[in-house]
Structures are given as C-alpha cells and as structure tokens.
Amino acid sequence: MWNGNNQTEYKPIRRILVKHPRDAYVNQTNADANWKDLGYPASVSYAKVTDEFEAFVEILKKFIPTISYLPFAPDTGLDSLYTHDPIVPTNKGIIMMNMGKPQRRREAYAMEQYFKAEGIPIRGWVESPATHEGGDSVWLDDNTLAMAHSFRTNADGAKRMRELAGGDFEVLSYGLPYWNGPNECLHIMSFISPVDKDLAVVYSKQMPIPFREELVRRGFSFVEVPESEYDTFAPNVLAIAPRVVAVAAGNPVTKERLREAGCEVYEYPGDDITLKGGGGPTCLTRALERE
C-alpha cells in the first residue's frame, strides 16, 4: 500500500523500513570477515549491534504504527543494515539508486524485490554511469529535493534525478568539499537533518555556502552541532514527527540545543551500530509513509 506522501523529512512517520542485524550481519563470523573491506574503523560486535538496534527500535515503536523489516538477501552485506541509502521515495513511487560504494550496489536490487512483493511502485532507476546514494538527497519542502555532488553521487546522478522528477519536483544540486577524501563517506545528510518545516540540525563547517543561503532564504533556523560532536554523529537526527527526534547518545550539547528549540529528544546507544558502522538514526531507517 502506498499513500503517496513521501517528499518530506519531518512529517509524522506512519511506516518505516529497517533491517534487523540478524539479516544484515548474520553472525559474528560474518562481521569479522567483512568490516575492514567496508571501511569500518574497528571490528564490530554482532551482539552489541543487535542490542543497540533493538533499543533504537523501541523508540520508533512509541510513535510509528508500522515498522517493516527488510528480509535477508544473500548478495548484501553488513552495510545493508542502513536502509536509507539505496532508495529515495517520492509521491509517485520509489527511485532506486546506483550506489557509489561498490560493495553496496546489490542492495537496491534486493529492495526492489521487497517493494514488488509489497505492491509499492517503482518510479525508476538511477543507472550507470550515474551514481547516487540516498544520503545525498534531502527534501527541503514537498516540492524541492536538494542533492549533493559528492564522492558517492556524481553529476550524472543529479541529471538522472531531474529526468525522473519529470517536473513533479525541483532538484537542486550542490558540490561538497573534499573533506577527508574518497575513502570516507560524506553525504549531504552528514551535515544537515531537517526536523521541522523551518528547523534543521546542521554542522555548518561542511555546508556549501549557496546551500546555506538557500535554507536561510526559505526561513530555516539552525541547531548548530559543535565541533566536538561531529564525529559522534550529532548532525544525523531522525525526525519521527515535527520536533520529535531520535539521536545517538553521547551528544549532550546538541541534545540540549534541540530541547531549547522545542524538540522532544530520544537517545539510543550507538557505539557499534553508529560510530563503528558509520550510520546514524536516519541511515538506519527509511520512512516509507508520512502523514
């Protein structure tokens, strides 16, 4: 079932897609064999990832009526835990990504089979030579998608998204900084998370100036992430509903600033699932239906 209201980052979530560690990690042996190839900074504990995931899902259950689980797929790996990146939902169906990280390119095909079984429409594909990852797109309003040109998303990716938009929504594109180079993931959502129609959590040092100016023009105010909390994924905030948010534990300054901005804040433990795996609460989820 598809309700056709998905071009937003902050409206109340009615259905969300996640993947349980048992279907992504499988077991500790598999995690031990693959974490280095995926670029994780250290080995990950299957047991700890599972505990952290289940604590995170308990937060989601407080607010979201339907939590859908992506099944195991034999040609996907540990990174498939992060369901955000292989797709971009729109009001007329799912856009499937050709991901820039080679180890993740089969994830979209596995998701396509799930969507077909669920009767969820596929709008189209980003196809080679275009690359695009879901973390490099963020809805600024119901009709405007901001995209990054990054090491994971190329200029052809923005061109293809404009083709798939077909005039139904506008696609803006912004170049990202080199930062720490091609071996580190830097998405547009590495430094911005909208949490209401006019409020976003940001790490300003990474923001392209034209992008920031566009947000100011649209009337956004900002919850600024301090330098000390960037590496603990403070900019990655999941808006469950307007100003109701989930954040990784260990970011007290950002948490307090969110509260000062009128947000209801819920924390989950993320030592392995977020800090080592490289994916915050937005990365761990993909909202499939919002109000």
The residues spanned by each domain of the chain are 13-290
Structure pTM?
Answer: 0.96
Q: Which pLDDT score, from 0 to 100, does residue 5 have?
A: 77
Q: Which pLDDT score, from 0 to 100, does residue 4 have?
A: 64
Q: Which pLDDT score, from 0 to 100, does residue 183 have?
A: 86
Q: Kindly list the averaged pLDDT for each block of 10 residues, start to end, along the chain of length 291.
A: 81 97 98 96 97 98 98 97 98 96 97 96 97 98 97 96 96 95 92 98 97 98 98 98 98 98 98 96 97 91
Q: Give the 3-state DSSP-derived string for the chain, with helices as H, strands as E and coil as C.
A: CCCCCCCCCCCCEEEEEECCHHHHCCCHHHHHHHCCCCCCCCCCCHHHHHHHHHHHHHHHHCCCCEEEECCCCCCCCHHHHCCCCCEEEECCEEEECCCCCHHHCCHHHHHHHHHHHHCCCEEEECCCCCCCCHHHEEEEECCEEEEEECCCCCHHHHHHHHHHHCCCCEEEEEECCCCCCCCCCCCHHHCEEEEECCEEEECHHHCCHHHHHHHHHCCCEEEECCHHHCCCCCCCCEEEECCEEEEECCCHHHHHHHHHCCCEEEEECCHHHHHHCCCCCCCCCEEEEEC
- Give domain 13-290's CATH number out of 3.30.70.3000, 3.40.50.970, 3.75.10.10, 1.10.3720.10: 3.75.10.10
